[in-house]
């Protein structure tokens, strides 16, 4: 049997001390290696305010009732007292039965990665939309695990002991579904209002650049440096940089200036994590919407990290899920000052340092050249059989009522396009 890898550091200041556990049925899980996934899991526990005393990676089949085989689970339970740990954290999403069975045997709180992520975000959300999205995601998660959650509340809901439902805990399917429908109605009103607000912002004809990146890549630090170019900049307007995972789930909008004097908007999005659980995809909706409306996406990576290729795969996979694969993207490798030798930059791959200012001028030049490509205004006629093409176009920009007309032959649409869009939609151009 594999043995626990035990941390020797002093954890006496933490109320929540866990043992992290992974069963590796395959060499690669969660789009990263098992070891890298466990490092991220530890960082998530720390982001939630706890820490990890020990970790255990097992190469065995997952038990449908207990996740671990009986011998291994007995071993882990014996170690809990010796290690002064009061929580078991599993890298895989557990079933309600597994949660219930493990808690009954161990007598400690059982948390899986999805529960942990949702609890962290519940504590980070400040805006009403974010709080509602997370509450809906938590309810959906619990709906699949009602049996396990009937007893889990005696240990608290997840690490953060965060009950988003107020004093009343919903534990029956009908009540949970009613609450989810109520939240969906509230969210639809918020989304409608945000569409109006976005239309006003974009109506000023300011280009929008979305900064995305893995947690701790330094994208907020880059944005803070770019903001200093704006005449309205104040220290108080800077994004607070926190060196921990998922420090916020709220989307923030800032302004900067290009070398040609043109203002542009910057949207800072939530940091990526590997293998985003399904309940969280809708919880990130406001972030994903801002990305879909951006004129340019800047993917920020930590140049000193060894996991850049894996992180890029995770981001590309997420972009595919939310339907923004056709957006222009630039890869920016921050923290280049930590490298012994800095690779040469290109227009598609730029090495910078927000800390030292290295190549920030190059970044601005590339942003400018991408935002102000030659544009073409054309009239398109989309047959009703090609309505999905209209939806595709509409998903990437705000289309005002006066810009399109429903005709007998299809949708007539006035559109300003760059060269790549012109090539893509040329079959629909009409005179």
Q: Binding-site residues for Mg(2+), please? A: 220, 248
Tokens of residue 59, six digits: 């190469």
What radius of gyration do the chain's Cα atoms show?
Answer: 24
User: 3-state class of 239 per DSSP?
Assistant: coil
Q: Specify whether the CB–CB gap between 91 and 22 falls below 8 A.
A: yes
116 to 7, 42, 152, 263: CA distances (angstroms): 21, 11, 14, 39
Q: Specify whether the CB–CB gap between 370 and 264 falls below 8 A.
A: no
* Cα-Cα-Cα-Cα dihedral sign, residues 23, 26, 30, 34: positive
The binding site for GTP comprises 213-220, 268-271, 334-337, 353-355
Tokens of residue 389, six digits: 């093409």
Taking the C-alpha atoms of residue 133 and residue 113, their distance in angstroms, rounded to an integer, is: 18
Q: Specify whether the CB–CB gap between 70 and 39 falls below 8 A.
A: no
Tokens of residue 430, six digits: 């009409």
Residues 6+ apart with CB under 8 A from 58: 2, 21, 22, 23, 24, 68, 72
The CB density around residue 332, as the number of other CB atoms within 10 Å, is 27
Tokens of residue 97, six digits: 């039965």
The binding site comprises 213-220, 248, 268-271, 334-337, 353-355
* Cα-Cα-Cα-Cα dihedral sign, residues 162, 167, 172, 173: negative
Distance of CA 363 to the CA centre of its chain: 24
Q: Give which of 422, 321, 320 is closest to 375, Cα–Cα.
A: 422
The CB density around residue 378, as the number of other CB atoms within 10 Å, is 17
Taking the C-alpha atoms of residue 324 and residue 319, their distance in angstroms, rounded to an integer, is: 5
DSSP 400: -
Taking the C-alpha atoms of residue 367 and residue 361, their distance in angstroms, rounded to an integer, is: 10
């Amino acid at each position: 049997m594999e043995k626990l890898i035990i941390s020797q550091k002093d954890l006496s200041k933490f109320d929540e001390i866990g043992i992290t556990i992974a069963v590796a049925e395959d060499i690669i899980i969660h789009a990263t290696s098992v070891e890298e996934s466990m490092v991220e899991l530890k960082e998530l526990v720390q982001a939630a305010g706890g820490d990890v005393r020990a970790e255990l990676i097992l190469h065995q089949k997952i038990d449908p009732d207990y996740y671990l085989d009986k011998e291994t689970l007995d071993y882990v339970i014996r170690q809990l007292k010796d290690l002064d740990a009061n929580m078991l954290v599993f890298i895989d999403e557990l079933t309600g039965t597994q949660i219930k069975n493990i808690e009954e045997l161990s007598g400690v709180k059982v948390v899986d990665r999805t529960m942990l992520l949702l609890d962290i975000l519940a504590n980070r959300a400040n805006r009403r939309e974010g709080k509602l999205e997370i509450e809906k995601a938590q309810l959906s998660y619990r709906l699949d695990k009602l049996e396990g959650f009937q007893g889990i509340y005696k240990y608290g809901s997840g690490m953060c002991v965060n009950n988003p439902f107020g004093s009343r805990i919903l534990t029956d399917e009908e009540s949970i579904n009613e609450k989810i429908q109520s939240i969906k109605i509230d969210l639809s009103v918020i989304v409608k209002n945000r569409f109006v607000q976005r239309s006003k912002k974009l109506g000023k004809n300011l280009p929008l650049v979305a900064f995305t990146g893995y947690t701790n890549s330094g994208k907020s630090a880059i944005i803070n440096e770019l903001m200093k170019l704006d005449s309205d900049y104040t220290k108080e307007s800077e994004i607070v940089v926190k060196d921990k995972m998922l420090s916020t789930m709220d989307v923030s909008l800032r302004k900067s200036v290009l070398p040609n004097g043109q203002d542009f908007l910057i949207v800072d999005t939530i940091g990526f994590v590997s293998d985003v659980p399904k309940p969280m995809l809708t919880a990130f909706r406001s972030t994903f919407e801002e990305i879909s409306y951006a004129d340019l996406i800047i993917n920020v990576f930590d140049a000193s990290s060894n996991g850049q290729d894996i992180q890029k795969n995770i981001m590309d996979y997420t972009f595919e899920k939310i339907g923004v694969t056709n957006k222009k993207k630039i890869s920016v490798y921050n923290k280049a000052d930590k490298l012994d030798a800095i690779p040469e930059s290109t227009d598609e791959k730029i090495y910078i340092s927000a800390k030292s200012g290295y190549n920030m001028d190059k970044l601005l030049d590339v942003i400018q050249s991408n935002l102000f490509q030659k544009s073409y205004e054309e009239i398109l006629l989309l047959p009703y059989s090609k309505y999905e093409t209209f939806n595709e176009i509409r998903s990437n920009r705000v289309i005002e009522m006066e810009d399109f007309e429903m005709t007998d032959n299809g949708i007539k649409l006035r559109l300003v396009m760059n060269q790549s869009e012109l090539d893509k939609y040329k079959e629909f151009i009409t005179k």
